[in-house]
Amino acid sequence: MHPDSLRRESMLIATGRPPRIPAGPVNQPLVLTSTFHAGGERVYGRDGNDTVDAFEAALGAVEGGGATAFSSGMAASTALIEGLPVGSVVVLPTTFYNFNRTLLDKQVELGRLSLRPADVTDTDTAIAALPQASLLWLELPTNPMLAVPDLPALTAAARQHGVRTVVDATLATPLGIRPLEHGADVVMHSATKWIAGHSDLVMGVLATADPALDEQIKVRRNLTGALPGGLESFLALRGLRTLSVRLERACANAAELARRLEDHPAVRRVRYLGLPDHPHADRVKALLDNHGGLLSFEPDSVQRAEQVCDRVRLITHATSLGGVESLLERRGRYPGELQQQTPAELLRLSVGLEHVEDLWADLDQALA
Ligand SMILES: *Cc1c(COP(=O)(O)O)cnc(C)c1O
């Protein structure tokens, strides 16, 4: 069976494996080498190896393009950003993953790029920012506000203006959305999060259906020296194999916690893709195949938010997301987040695979 005819859940299991030969391994073995015997296609370790290739094959299949793995999500972002010619204009969301914003701000300080921040959830505003731009940076949904831009409308407009669209789909995962099908030129993931799924490595990935762009990205990875380690690639592929079942449990847990938090007297607002009152519920329905394992909620004060971080016992007070264990933090503890208008009391909860009643008991006692 050709992998392209499979559903994405099956693709994640079937792809990135060695050929089926008698007595051959079923899994791609871990390759640890910095160089290769001369005379073949592989030359030097910075270009890649079979372990990295196996991860890329699986991720590329599920995204519908060619994938390039990086040593972190930020290394993947950097490969795109520092490859832009001097003077390029980047259209970006007003609120999104704050280190990507800082990366872009540093390019402005160096005189390399100029930025046009826009409320990309307002389609007309975003389109008005496109003329003469080079790149439209989107995040879907945004971290930590969980906003959803109208991706097909924006990619169509960007194409008309000759603007490339990148979608950071870290929160949606490759099972939540296929941005390339909606017209994006590149999809980016921090594989550190749901893809690897166990909070045990840092890695990133880009995928594109444009072979010339794929080649450019691979050249940039080589020149920026951003190849991921073999062990990381091995573990990230192992994470991909179980993504569908992990996500199923995380989504079910998150949906239940979101509903209960909405009724909690100490909580002012809950943001979750699965809530009927999500401001972009129509886009969620049209674009996303699940509601994800991430939710954000605002207790009635910053003090109570801090108290929740101090008092959780099962849930871990730490940054990051997408692991088997539930993680929670107040994003406003980072000054960059507040500059981006993230509410100071907002708590971001990455829901893990624990029993939902244990998670609720922990949250309830921490909010009391
Ligand atoms: C974590 C994250 C990144 C950065 O990825 P790293 O692997 O930490 O470098 C980028 N975008 C989003 C949405 C993230 O959550």
**Which of ligand 1's atoms lies nearest the C-alpha of 75?**
9
Q: Whose CA is nearest to atom 7 of ligand 1?
A: 73
Gyration radius (Cα) of the chain, Å: 21
Give yes or no: 285 in active site: no
Residue 143 Cβ inside 6 Å of ligand 1? The answer reads: yes
Residues 340 and 195 in one domain: no
Q: Are residues 164 and 33 in the same domain?
A: yes
Query: Domain range spanning residue 288?
Result: 243-367
Residues 161 and 251 in one domain: no
Q: Is the CB of 72 under 6 A from ligand 1?
A: yes
What is the three-class DSSP state of 69?
strand
Indicate if the alpha-carbon torsion angle 55, 58, 64, 65 is positive or negative. Answer: positive
Torsion of CA 252, 271, 126, 99, to 10 degrees: -90
pTM of the model: 0.97
Domains: count for the chain: 2
The token duo for 132 is: 């003469």
283 in active site: no
Q: Establish whether 193 is a catalytic residue.
A: yes
Give the pLDDT confidence of 206-248 residue by residue, as tens digits.
999 999 999 999 999 999 999 999 999 999 999 999 999 999 9
Q: Do 272 and 249 reside in the same domain of the chain?
A: yes
The question of whether 334 is a catalytic residue gets the answer: no
* 3-state SS assignment for residue 136: strand
pLDDT in tens, 123-177: 999 999 999 999 999 999 999 999 999 999 999 999 999 999 999 999 999 999 9
Last residue of a domain, one of 200, 219, 241: 241
